[in-house]
């Protein structure tokens, strides 16, 4: 089922819409700036020349997940649920 | 739509919820990854730290919070107390006034020529009458519009208010015109100033629409100030217009509606006579003479066309407002002086007998 739902999500363009929505909301609420500041610290720590993507990912992702404000999270969940309700009641469970 | 989820059984619901959360986590991770790529690229391309300056430069532009100094550290009135010696007149001028002073002192720059022209023009105005309209160099000045001309005149006259030159002519213009009117009302040949006699009715009309026009007792000239010149009252202006242009004279911009055009379009002397009689009956109260600031028609040059003038004789309110019109006329001639003073007020009422009382109401 999960695969089917994911497929539907992508097909209908809802996934992209949700992505954009999330990005916009995160920028708006300052999450992005917070994360950038954190990145700066990491980079200064590791040294400018030797930073790799992996380093950043490892450092940033957990913090990023934690820093998402509740309102943004709630709204996104709501939208996902709505989408599912709208489009999956005809699927078999 | 959500209602349709309700009938789902427990495990399905949790499955759904976990699905929702999974999708959410995916989205968030996507966002974080996107950010990481962005930052990494910026670092490698070298523009990540561009918005930061080094400590030294930061110190240079720090906000200053000392008294007597603005936030940039500059002193506000540093040059206020300094004085400079003018190379032209060798005077010590304050620094902030130095540039305008130089402009005037050297006679260069826009303002200085304008001021000089204005002064010349106003000097001419004292001696001549309304020729200044053409004399105004402002017309040649590209920066001035026609509307500004009036303003210039007003400012010119305002400027002269405090100057010593103002003393003589201005004060006298407001003086009583009692000495001027001598002849009888219907004679129309009072002493006329050269000024408006030389003008045709159209010229007079056009002049009167823009200028105050009140005729000075001394110079017999029309006042060239604006319609709102402070030295003459609207009454005087109205009186002048009636005098010069006849009873159907166009209203002043700020004239009382009561006065002016009562529909009188009588160019005849005879009708004027009849009106004179009416006027006489109106019987101007002595208060008129008291309150009059007559400065109008010291001389009624334009007798033939302008009826208004005869009223001067009529306004024998001071004379006791004789019963009959004729008597008033004669009385007017004798008491010409007082008539003049009353004439300004009287001018208005002449239009029609019924209107006179109302006019007096206005006056009083």
Q: Does domain A28-82 have CATH number 1.10.357.10?
A: no
Both tokens of residue A73?
């999270």
Residue of A5, A60, A93 lying closest to B32 (CB–CB): A60
Predicted local confidence at residue A46, as pLDDT: 85
Both tokens of residue B45?
């391309």
Q: Which residue has the higher pLDDT, B153 or A45?
A: A45
Separation between Cα atoms, residue B213 and residue B219, nearest integer Å: 13
DSSP string, B113-144: HHHHHHHHHHHHHHHSSTTHHHH-GGGT-TT-
Q: What is the per-residue pLDDT across B89-132, written as a single tens digit (0 to 9) for each?
A: 888 888 888 888 888 888 887 887 888 888 898 988 887 655 54
Predicted local confidence at residue B321, as pLDDT: 40
Residue of A56, A64, A76 lying closest to B40 (CB–CB): A56
Contacts of A57 in chain B (CB under 8 A): 32-33, 36
Both tokens of residue B274?
């009849």
Specify whether the CB–CB gap between A19 and B29 falls below 8 A.
no
Specify whether the CB–CB gap between B223 and B126 falls below 8 A.
no
Separation between Cα atoms, residue B337 and residue B180, nearest integer Å: 7
Best A80, A90, A92 member to test B by mutation, with max B CBs in 10 Å, is A80
Provide the residue ranges of all domains of chain A, joining segments of one domain with +: 28-82
- Comparing CA positions, the residue from A38, A41, A31 lying closest to residue A65 is A31
As averages over each run of 10 residues, the pLDDT of chain A (93 residues) reads 83 90 93 91 85 87 91 92 79 49
Highest mean pLDDT among B7-16, B90-99, B185-194, B279-288: B90-99
Predicted local confidence at residue B327, as pLDDT: 43
Separation between Cα atoms, residue B153 and residue B122, nearest integer Å: 9
Residue of A52, A65, A93 lying closest to B12 (CB–CB): A93
């Amino acid at each position: 089922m999960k695969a089917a739902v994911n497929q539907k999500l992508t097909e209908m363009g809802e996934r992209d819409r949700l992505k954009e929505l999330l990005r916009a909301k995160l920028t708006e609420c300052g999450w992005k700036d917070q994360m950038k500041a954190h990145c700066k610290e990491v980079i200064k720590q590791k040294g400018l020349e030797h930073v790799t993507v992996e380093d950043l990912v490892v450092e940033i992702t957990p913090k990023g997940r934690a820093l998402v404000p509740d309102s943004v999270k709630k709204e996104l969940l709501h939208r996902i649920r709505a989408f599912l309700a709208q489009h999956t009641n005809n699927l078999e469970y | 739509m959500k209602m349709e989820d309700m009938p789902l059984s427990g495990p399905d619901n949790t499955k759904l919820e976990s699905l929702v959360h999974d999708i959410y986590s995916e989205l968030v991770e996507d966002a974080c990854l996107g950010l990481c790529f962005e930052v990494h690229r910026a670092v490698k391309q070298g523009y990540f730290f561009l918005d930061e300056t080094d400590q030294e430069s930061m110190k240079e532009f720090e906000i200053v919070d000392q008294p007597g100094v603005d936030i940039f550290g500059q002193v506000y009135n540093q040059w206020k107390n300094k004085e400079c010696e003018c190379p032209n007149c060798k005077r010590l001028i304050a620094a902030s006034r130095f540039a305008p002073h130089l402009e005037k002192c050297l006679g260069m720059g826009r303002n200085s020529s304008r001021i000089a022209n204005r002064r010349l023009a106003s000097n001419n105005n004292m001696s001549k009458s309304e020729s200044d309209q053409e004399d105004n160099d402002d017309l040649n000045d590209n920066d001035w519009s026609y509307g500004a001309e009036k303003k210039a005149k007003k400012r010119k006259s305002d400027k002269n208010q405090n100057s010593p030159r103002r003393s003589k002519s201005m004060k006298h213009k407001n003086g009583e015109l009692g000495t001027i009117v001598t002849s009888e009302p219907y004679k129309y040949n009072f002493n006329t100033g050269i000024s408006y006699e030389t003008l045709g009715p159209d010229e007079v009309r056009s002049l009167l629409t823009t200028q105050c026009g009140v005729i000075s007792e001394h110079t017999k000239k029309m006042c060239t100030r604006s319609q709102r010149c402070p030295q003459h009252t609207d009454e005087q202006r109205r009186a002048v217009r009636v005098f010069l242009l006849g009873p159907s004279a166009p209203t002043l911009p700020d004239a009382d509606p009561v006065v002016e055009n009562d529909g009188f379009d009588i160019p005849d002397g005879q009708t004027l006579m009849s009106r004179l009689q009416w006027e006489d009956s109106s019987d101007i109260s002595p208060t008129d003479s008291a309150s009059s600031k007559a400065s109008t028609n010291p001389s009624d040059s334009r007798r033939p066309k302008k009826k208004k003038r005869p009223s001067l004789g009529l306004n024998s309110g001071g004379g006791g407002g004789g019963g009959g019109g004729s008597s008033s006329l004669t009385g007017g001639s004798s008491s010409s002086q007082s008539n003049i003073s009353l004439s300004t007020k009287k001018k208005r009422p002449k239009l029609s007998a019924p209107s006179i009382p109302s006019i007096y109401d206005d006056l009083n």
